[in-house]
Structure 1
Amino acid sequence: MSIVPKENVEVIAQSIGINNLSPDVALALAPDVEYRLREVMQEAIKCMRHSRRTRLTADDVDGALNLRNVEPIYGYVSGGPLRFKRAIGHRDLFYIDDKDVEFKDVIEAPLPKAPLDTGIVCHWLAIEGVQPAIPENAPVEVLAAPPDSKKYEQKDDGIPVDIKLPVKHILSRELQLYFDKITELVVSRSDLVIFKEALVSLATDSGLHPLVPYFTCFIADEVSRGLNDYPLLFALMRVVRSLLQNPHMHIEPYLHQLMPSVVTCLVAKRLGNRFADNHWELRDFTANLVASICKRFGHVYNTLQSRLTKTLVNAFLDPKRTLTQHYGAIQGLAALGPSVVRLLVLPNLESYLRLLEPELLLDKQKNEMKRHEAWRVYGALLNAAGQCIYDRLKMFPLLPSPAPQSFWRTSQRVITMPNKRKGSVEHMEEQPPLKKIATDGHTDA
């Protein structure tokens, strides 16, 4: 049995001019009316929940009707309560008391006073470049290009396909000139003083946010095709640091485009094409840049540092990677902090030293360049482990300083104790350090 009685159906039929509706038809229509009402109310409740509200309003019902391609009911607002009156002759039938208003009285009535309170409605104009389909935003058809500017393409079956033109991003003439000047300095004049002034401008100017996507694409393109140009790569990383330092730029949506370029300058196999290119300095600079990115945006992107450390650890433990890639990975992990070194580098230190030992020895590695790279990696490991140990030592209380060196005064002469430490150091210098490293490794094992 339907919760909508047939009397309601009869009254509604009489209100729209149907006076001879039979009781059987009203009884058959009542279940369908109940089904439609439940359907609309379920959609309205969905609209309410998507709006993060707990009170159902007339706007939710209008939204549900729009979803069902039904014209909304006009004249109902959520401003105040509705007044219902009991229908004469029916015990459980109510109707809304609508007062009849003369059109002439409405026209001749004086204008109401301006409201004192100001209402503000907030809505998303665009979310990361995508405009949500809400009533406050203009429909997509209004923003589309005119019909005459559309292009059509014929398929094999002869059906025309509508090709939408890309949306144009309008920049002022001043911003275009600024972007062209910065890119010119980065590509060809990164060693001049004016380039340093341009970096200061990138880090402080408050009107450069519209250029962030253009700088991001420029950096990604130049890094991908300029790995043999060391000055260009260093200039690009300095531009990235200046962009990150600018407090007026909202750069979080573009980090997924910047990070591959930055990580490439850290763990790439080859950076620069000349022997004089100091790619070690570039990797050190990029490691500090990566650490600053994780420190600043780690709370916004929870997986940023975990994904980065996974990439660096894979590069560090992969024996097929070159020593320059291992160096960049170690420097990147060390820049992330002593905790990362303690958890990811130190447990793998013994096995990695076994891999590195043949590259350090003169009798096993005849290539001087390879040995130099191996010693660079060994120095990076020493630096990372030393920072980790120093961080752990800070947890202990300070130890008392040792007593001053003892001496005796006999017949106006000073007799000092022999410096055993100096002799031991000299003795260590006489021993080949590479052999000592190998011996320590076997002893720990």
Structure 2
Amino acid sequence: ELSHNVAANVTEKTAARFGRCCRDAAKHCVGRTAGQRRVSPQAVCGYGSQDALPFRAIKEGELYFQEEREVNLVELALATNIPKGCAETAVRVHVSYLDGKGNLEPQGAVPSAVSTLTDDLLKYYQHVTRAVLGDDPQLMKVALQDLQSNSKIAALLPYFVYVVSGVKSVSHDLEQLHRLLHIAGSLVQNPFLCLGSYVRSLVASVTYCVLEPLAASINPLNDHWTLRDAAAMLLSRIFWTHGDPGSGLYHQILLSLQKVLADPVRPLCSHYGAVVGLHALGWKAVERVLYPHLSTYWGGLQAVLDDYSVSNAQVKADGHKVYGAILVSHGGGDGAGGRAEGGTRRFIIAGRQVGRRCQGRLFQTSFPQHHGPGHVSRYAQKLPMIGRTARPPRRWARSEYSLGLLL
């Protein structure tokens, strides 16, 4: 038997050694886990079953072991369903909306659970959408003003973005397209909203209005050119206010405009949208995309403008639109005269389609004059003048600058 003092001394040393062993074991586990993370080993197959492991006890004592079934090598050799190798590790992503609640719709579906919002937000969403898409212009103006200044509608951002994405379904209605662009503009101007990942969704919807041949553009009486101008300005505003330089949004927009401009199959209204889009993004975009492509593009445009057949009247009118947009982006008309009294500086492209049996139709397009910096003239390219000059041009009774074209 040990004395009390010896037992106390042995107990103290034993406790110290036991604590040291526990700490060493913990260090070993932490180091092993960290090492495995650095090495990043492949997933181990065969040990991830959710079924309970069967255990059996031996007859000689209370000893349990995992039961393993016997494998018949003959059946395995003659089997036709040869197991394949381990599949590659994959990651599946599921999107949750708003406050983190998982959506019940299939992956990629638009959230229809508007009822998850509070009653006040739900009423606000319904009233604003009905006011903007309704028939009362004064009510629409009030709704848009509140939409661009309300600080408590962050939860409604994905729903309004979804409303704006409906431009494809109303491409036949210019008025509805203008109203959807107004909603997008109000969201962009709201200083309390962080668009975040919704910027690309808005850019896609606005770019559709700029570049695509809308169903409303089939009728020449529909002024879809104004819609493209407004959408181009909104596209520029979205980029300059919410575009992250590191996100690649600028290059994505330029690539979309360049593809449309370089595609000769696209209609002239799409080419017009590409030109006004480049002009809205600034002179650097014009210098980077339009100027290098202008010498190639001008041949096709000149062929359209030199076609004097009456059947080509509408296409030729669209060609004048594209030509005027190129002049505006180029800075054409600078220094042609002073500012008109009481008005903005503008210039006009006008002309008449002349046929053998009829006078044809009159073309007249007014463009705002370029007020960009003076360095644009450094990249000036001499654009060929269109039209015949054998007869004196008609004097248009307007205070703005005019480019008379006798076609």
TM range (shorter): 0.5 to 0.7
Unaligned runs of 5+ in 2: 1-9, 38-94, 105-110, 335-370, 378-388, 395-402
Question: 2:12, 2:253 → 1: CA distance?
Answer: 67
Q: What is the TM-score when the length of structure 2 is the normalising length? A: 0.58
Structure-1 residue corresponding to 2:88: none
Question: 2:35, 2:115 → 1: CA distance?
Answer: 39
Q: How does 1:66-77 map to 2 (within 5 A)?
A: none
Choose which of 202, 206, 217 in structure 2 pairs with 1:258.
202
Q: How does 1:151-230 map to 2 (within 5 A)?
A: 170-189=116-135, 192-220=137-165, 222-230=166-174
Shift of 1:13: 10
Structure-2 residue corresponding to 1:369: 314
Structure-2 residue corresponding to 1:311: 256
Question: 1:235, 1:186 → 2: CA distance?
Answer: 7
Question: 2:228, 2:12 → 1: CA distance?
Answer: 79
Structure-2 residue corresponding to 1:393: 374
Distance 1:391 1:166, change over 3 A: closer
In the alignment of these two chains, the number of paired residues is 277
Q: How does 1:258-277 map to 2 (within 5 A)?
A: 258-272=202-216, 274-277=219-222
Structure-2 residue corresponding to 1:333: 278
Instruction: Say if 2:278 and 2:285, in contact at 8 Å, map to a contact too.
Output: yes
Instruction: Say if 2:199 and 2:242, in contact at 8 Å, map to a contact too.
Output: no
Instruction: Say if 1:341 and 1:388, in contact at 8 Å, map to a contact too.
Output: no
Would you say 1:280 and 2:225 are equivalent positions? yes
Instruction: Say if 1:269 and 1:324, in contact at 8 Å, map to a contact too.
Output: yes
Question: 2:301, 2:315 → 1: CA distance?
Answer: 11
Question: 2:257, 2:32 → 1: CA distance?
Answer: 51
Structure-2 residue corresponding to 1:154: none
State the Cα deviation string for residues 228-279 of structure 1 (Å, max 9, x = none).
1111111000110011111111112211222211110110112526543211
Choose which of 280, 287, 298 in structure 1 pairs with 2:243.
298
Shift of 1:351: 1.2
Choose which of 19, 30, 33 in structure 2 pairs with 1:40.
30
Structure-2 residue corresponding to 1:60: none
Question: 1:168, 1:184 → 2: CA distance?
Answer: 15
Structure-1 residue corresponding to 2:180: 236
Which stretch has the larger CA shift, 379-388 or 347-356?
379-388
State the Cα deviation string for residues 85-119 of structure 1 (Å, max 9, x = none).
xxxxxxxxxxxxxxxxxxxxxxxxxxxxxxxxxxx
Instruction: Say if 2:114 and 2:122, in contact at 8 Å, map to a contact too.
Output: no
* Structure of greater relative contact order (alpha carbons < 8 Å, 6+ residues apart): 2
Distance 1:292 1:387, change over 3 A: farther
**Which residue type is aligned with residue 342 of structure 1?**
E
Q: What is the TM-score when the length of structure 1 is the normalising length? A: 0.54
**Which residue type is aligned with residue 336 of structure 1?**
L
Distance 1:301 1:283, change over 3 A: farther
Q: How does 1:52-91 map to 2 (within 5 A)?
A: none
Shift of 1:311: 0.4
Distance 1:347 1:238, change over 3 A: same
Structure-1 residue corresponding to 2:60: none
**SS of the counterpart of 1:307?**
helix
Distance 1:238 1:171, change over 3 A: same
Structure-2 residue corresponding to 1:160: none
**Which residue type is aligned with residue 126 of structure 2?**
D
Structure-1 residue corresponding to 2:83: none
Would you say 1:346 and 2:310 are equivalent positions? no
Would you say 1:323 and 2:323 are equivalent positions? no
Question: 1:39, 1:129 → 2: CA distance?
Answer: 40
Which stretch has the larger CA shift, 270-279 or 195-204?
270-279
Choose which of 234, 246, 249 in structure 1 pairs with 2:190.
246
Choose which of 369, 389, 393 in structure 2 pairs with 1:429.
393
Question: 2:30, 2:247 → 1: CA distance?
Answer: 40
Q: How does 1:12-161 map to 2 (within 5 A)?
A: 14-15=14-15, 37-41=27-31, 43=33
Q: Max radius of gyration: which structure? A: 1
Shift of 1:434: 7.8
Distance 1:130 1:387, change over 3 A: farther
Shift of 1:359: 1.2
State the Cα deviation string for residues 280-305 of structure 1 (Å, max 9, x = none).
00000000000011111233653011
Unaligned runs of 5+ in 1: 1-9, 19-25, 48-125, 132-142, 145-149, 151-164, 397-424, 436-445
Structure-2 residue corresponding to 1:402: none
**Which residue type is aligned with residue 316 of structure 1?**
L
Question: 1:395, 1:323 → 2: CA distance?
Answer: 25
Question: 2:198, 2:96 → 1: CA distance?
Answer: 13
Instruction: Say if 1:338 and 1:387, in contact at 8 Å, map to a contact too.
Output: no
State the Cα deviation string for residues 113-139 of structure 1 (Å, max 9, x = none).
xxxxxxxxxxxxx998697xxxxxxxx
Question: 1:33, 1:382 → 2: CA distance?
Answer: 78
**Which residue type is aligned with residue 393 of structure 1?**
G
Distance 1:299 1:44, change over 3 A: same
**Which residue type is aligned with residue 181 of structure 1?**
H
